[in-house]
Structure 1
Amino acid sequence: MEKNDKRLTQNSATSEELQTRQAVRTARTEAQNAEKKAAKRKKAAPEEDSQPLFNPFFGYKKRRFPIWQRLIALISLCAIALVLGAMFGYGGLGHRSPWAVFQTATWQHIFDFLKTN
């Protein structure tokens, strides 16, 4: 008999607990619905005092990469392309060592060739 009494008290406690949980859930959903309705009302009829007439930052989205980072990336990519192009032109097309581009004697020869003609 004692076991049955314990089960009954446990069942009644769990049923009361379930009812309170359900009440909390319904109260929460009702509060969320009320907030949604209030937000819709505010969107439908905006007040003139709450919003300025002109806002230069309206619709501004923060960039992932700022302009200065983009400029640095562009300049560095151009420098890399220039170096690789010089290595390919002197080494691949000129049939010489591509690493000779970094020697000052090579550039002196190129400038002398351009000045004489």
Structure 2
Amino acid sequence: MTNNLKKNVTEPNTSKPMTRKEAKIEREVKEEVNMKWWSNLRLFPIGMRILVVLILLVIAAVSGAMIGYSVIGEGDALDTLKVSTWRHIFDIMNGVVDK
């Protein structure tokens, strides 16, 4: 039973004592190997990450406009998808008055 537990534990090299410098070099090599493994593992490439963030940004902006227009402005939520609504909003922002 103890043999099964010791398989995962590395046993120290008892033939020659390790200096601090050797131990540091060995640690750095192990960390470098671990970092190389981690850096090679990418679930989403950077281009895919940027695309996902942009899509989420558009979804958040559209849903926020729909909620704001329907709750605060007391209009229909689907009116935010119409071009005429946005034209009217930008006319108000730019100071153009309808006659």
TM-score (norm 2): 0.57
CA offset at residue 69 of structure 1?
1.3
Q: Is the counterpart of residue 101 in structure 1 residue 80 in structure 2?
A: yes
- 1:19 paired residue number: none
Q: Is the counterpart of residue 72 in structure 1 residue 46 in structure 2?
A: no
Spell out, residue by residue over 1:23-79, the C-alpha distance to the aligned partner (whole angstroms, 9 max, x if none).
xxxxxxxxxxxxxxxxx8xxxxxxxxxxxxxxxx85222111221111111010000
- 2:27 paired residue number: none
Which runs of structure 1 show a deviation greater than 4 angstroms over 4 or more consecutive aligned residues?
none
Greater share of residues in helix: 1
Identity rate, percent: 34
- 2:68 paired residue number: 89
User: Per chain length, whose mean CA-contact separation is higher, i.e. which structure has more relative contact order (CA < 8 Å, sep 6+)?
Assistant: 2
- 90-99 or 59-68, larger mean C-alpha shift: 59-68
Amino acid at match of 1:79: V
- 1:113 paired residue number: 92
Q: C-alpha separation between the residues in 2 aligned to 1:68 and 1:108? A: 33
Q: C-alpha separation between the residues in 2 aligned to 1:68 and 1:83? A: 23
CA offset at residue 93 of structure 1?
1.4
What is the RMSD computed on CA atoms of the aligned residues?
3.2
Amino acid at match of 1:70: R
CA offset at residue 102 of structure 1?
1.0
- 1:46-57 correspondence to structure 2 within 5 Å: none
Amino acid at match of 1:116: G
